[in-house]
Amino acid sequence: MQDIQYSNALFQLCEILKYVEEDLKNRIPEQLINYFEENKSKDYNWEIDITKPLVEQQLLQTTKEFLTVIYRDYMCDEKQKEELDRVLNDNEKKYQEELRKKYNPDDIFKQRKNEIKEEEKVTENITEITVYKESLIKKILNKIRLFFKRR
């Protein structure tokens, strides 16, 4: 599955590079472009809509990541590179913060303790033990039956 998505992303990347200006495309090493061409999917069918901006295209997440790295490493100048790095770092911090809020171990354990307490309350209500008292006559009858069964 991951290999298929990877090769499909390379296919999309090759299609996008067809429309990139020659001077920008020449900044990308030829070996890298050859790698993309050799490893792209042969079965994937996707066409770029040149009437829409790249942001509105139906791109795979992996394709977006490839484009970001290629742009940062080969196409932008130092000032743009610093700005892009700052944006990427900010996005990563936001993502890590969301993960921390979502999967905070302290909150998870607190929530689990609350669930356990609720379960205990429910089981206490359900499993009430009723004490069965045998009447005196039944006790005598059972003793007599035991006596005759032994013989």
Whether the predicted model's global pTM rises above the 0.75 cut:
no
Summarize pLDDT for 54-97 with one digit per residue, the tens: 888 888 888 888 888 888 888 888 888 888 889 888 988 998 88
Q: What domain range includes position 128?
A: 105-150
DSSP one-letter string for 51-108: TS-GGGS---HHHHHHHHHHIIIIIS-HHHHHHHHHHHHHHHHHHHHHHHHHT-HHHH
Backbone angles phi, psi at 79, to 5 degrees: -65, -45
Q: What is the pLDDT along the chain (151 residues), one digit of tens a residue?
A: 458 888 889 988 888 888 888 888 888 888 988 998 898 888 888 888 888 888 888 888 888 888 888 888 888 888 888 888 898 889 889 988 888 877 776 666 666 666 666 666 666 555 556 666 777 787 788 778 877 776 5
On whether both 96 and 120 belong to a single domain, the answer is: no
The domain boundary, picked from 84, 102, 120, lies at: 102
Same domain as 75, residue 8:
yes
pLDDT value, residue 31: 92
119: helix, coil or strand? Answer: helix
Number of separate domains in the chain: 2
